[in-house]
Structure 1
Amino acid sequence: MSQDLRVAAYAVCVRDGRILLARWVGRDGTRKWTLPGGGMDHGEDPVDTAVREVAEETGYTAEVTTLLGIDSMRTRRPRRLGGESDFHSLRIVYEGRVTGGELRPETNGSTDLAAWHPLDAVADLDRVALVDIGLELWRERPALGRVDGSFPAANG
């Protein structure tokens, strides 16, 4: 089985009791809210990745203010040309602060909408698990930079 690693950086941007989220669009058309962020380009610093991705997905310029933690997830995924992959996603989660720009959706990307959501309404959103992980890291600020349940073993 092949092994694939994806390293990504995300920002938890909270302002006035609301969190900035982007709506991710899956290959099958599924839409779920996620933290703004995404995969690192080769040679790119993860802080720069988070700042770039916030700009691409939301229209805002942002600065990273602190490292909240790292989430690690392994799953089995089908490969495009057949077979399966042991997929490992390493997600670096930062706290971010919006410094400028205007809210707008991403064009021709993996998200189609960006919006501020009240923190007390997040539980009612159709969202990916990373939103909850990011919020827990933001609220708890664990010393090891990970939440309980992080680093699960591969499926199967």
Structure 2
Amino acid sequence: MSQELRVAAYAVCVQDGRILLARWVARDGAKRWTLPGGGMDHGEDPLDTVVREVAEETGCSAEVTALLGIDTMRVRRGRRLGGESDFQSLRIVYEGRVTGGEPRPEPDGSTDLAAWHELDAVQDLEQVALVDIGLQLWRERPASGRVDGHRPADG
């Protein structure tokens, strides 16, 4: 079985009681809300990754205000050309502040919508587990930089 590691950076952007989220479109067509962010390019700094990804996925410019923590997810998944992969995602989670722009859909990307959501309504959204993880890191700011507990394999 092949092994794959993906390093990604995400932003928790909370302003005026709302959080900026992007709606991710899975390979099977399912749509779920997630934190804006994504995979690092080779040689790219994670801080640059998160700023680039927020702009690409939401149309908003942002600056990083803090490192919140790191999360990891591991799952077996099918490969495009057959077989299975032992996939691990290492997710660096930052606090971000939107400095300009308005949410808009990502052109030709993995997300189809970006929007601000009231914090007290997030639990009612179809979302990936990373949203709750990011919000817990943002609220609790654990010294270890991680939250404990079971994580679903959908990230």
Normalised by the size of structure 1, how large is the TM-score?
Answer: 0.95
Tell me what 1:85 maps to: 85
Match of 1:7 in 2: 7
CA contact (8 A) 2:129 2:151 kept: no
Equivalent in the alignment of 2:115: 115
Q: CA deviation at 1:105?
A: 1.1
Tell me the SS of whatever aligns to 2:105: coil
Structure 1 counterpart of 2:55: 55
Equivalences for residues 26-65 of structure 1 within 5 A: 26-65=26-65
Any idea what the Cα deviations from partners look like across 1:119-147, whole Å, max 9, x if unmatched? 00001000000000000000000000000
* Aligned CA-pair RMSD: 1.4
Amino acid at match of 2:37: G
Partner of 1:147: 147
SS in 2 for 1:114: strand
The alignment of Structure 1 onto Structure 2 pairs a total of residues equal to: 153
Q: Deviations over 1:12-47 (max 9, x none)?
A: 000000000000001111000000000000000000
Question: Following TM superposition, by how much is the alpha carbon of 1:150 offset from its aligned partner in structure 2, in angstroms?
Answer: 6.6
Instruction: Give the CA deviation at 1:81.
Output: 1.3
Separation in 2, partners of 1:36, 1:2: 28
Amino acid at match of 2:102: E
Shift in Å at residue 102 of structure 1?
2.3
In structure 2, C-alpha distance between the alignment counterparts of 1:79 and 1:105, rounded to whole Å: 28
Which residue pairs with 1:133 in the alignment?
133
Overall identity of the aligned pairs, in %: 83
Gaps in structure 1 of 5+ consecutive residues: none
Partner of 1:67: 67
Asked if structure 2 preserves the Cα contact closer than 8 Å seen for 1:71 and 1:151, the reply is no
Distance 1:138 1:26, change over 3 A: same
Shift of 1:151: 8.2
Per-residue deviation at 1:82? Answer: 1.2
> Could you tell me which residue of structure 1 aligns to residue 101 of structure 2?
101
- How far, CA to CA, are the matches of 1:6 and 1:150 in structure 2? 20
Question: How far is the alpha carbon of 1:149 from its aligned partner?
Answer: 2.0
Q: Measure the CA separation in 2 of the matches of 1:25 and 1:79.
A: 18
Deviation at 1:104, TM superposition (A): 1.2
Helix, strand or coil: the match of 2:108? Answer: coil
Please tell me the residue identity of whatever aligns with 1:114.
Answer: A
Using the alignment, how far apart are the partners of 2:151 and 2:35 within structure 1?
19
